[in-house]
Amino acid sequence: MTHFLLFDKHINDKIAKAYGMLGLIKRSFTNMSKDCFLLLYKSMVRSHLEYANSVWHSRRISDIEKLEKVQKRATKLIHGLNRLNYTEHLKLLKLPTLKYRQIRGDLCSWHI
C-alpha cells in the first residue's frame, strides 16, 4: 500500500478553526472599520490558515481554493463592500491572496 505525505486532515482542521474564529468575529463585532477587521482577521483567522505552512504547503489546487475561500468569506464581513468582487476587496484592504503569501514565504525561506 502506497502512502503519500498529504496533510488533508491538518488543512481541514485549520480551515475549521479559521471558520470558527471568523464566526466569533462576526458575532462579536458589527460595523467593523477596515483597520479593526484587518487586525482581527490577521491575528485570529489568517494565523490558523498559515500555521506550519512551511511544512504542509500544498500545491494542490483544491487545497488552495479551500484556504482562499476562508479569506474570501472574511472580506465579506466589512459593510459597504457588497458590490465589489473578491479581487477588489483584496486591493481595497491591501491584502494579498493566501497563495501569494505562500509563494512569498517560500522565496524568503530559500534565501536563508
Q: What pLDDT, on the 0 to 100 scale, is given for residue 46?
A: 92
Buried b (16+ CB within 10 A) or exposed e, 2-41: eeeeebeeebeebbebbbebbeebeeeeeebeeeebbebb
pTM of the model as a whole: 0.80
Report the distance separating Cα 23 and Cα 45, nearest Å. 10
**In this predicted model, what pLDDT tens digit does every residue of 76-97 receive, in sequence order?**
998 887 788 999 999 999 999 8
Q: What pLDDT, on the 0 to 100 scale, is given for residue 61?
A: 81
**In this predicted model, what pLDDT tens digit does every residue of 64-81 receive, in sequence order?**
888 899 999 999 998 887
Contact criterion met (CB below 8 Å) for 39 and 94: no
Site of grid cell 497563495: 99
Q: Coil, strand, or helix at residue 103?
A: helix
Highest mean pLDDT among 28-42, 51-65, 96-110: 28-42
Above pLDDT 90, what percent of the chain? Answer: 42
> Mean of the per-residue pLDDT values for the chain?
83
Domain-wise residue ranges, the chain: 8-110
**In this predicted model, what pLDDT tens digit does every residue of 39-49 receive, in sequence order?**
999 999 998 88
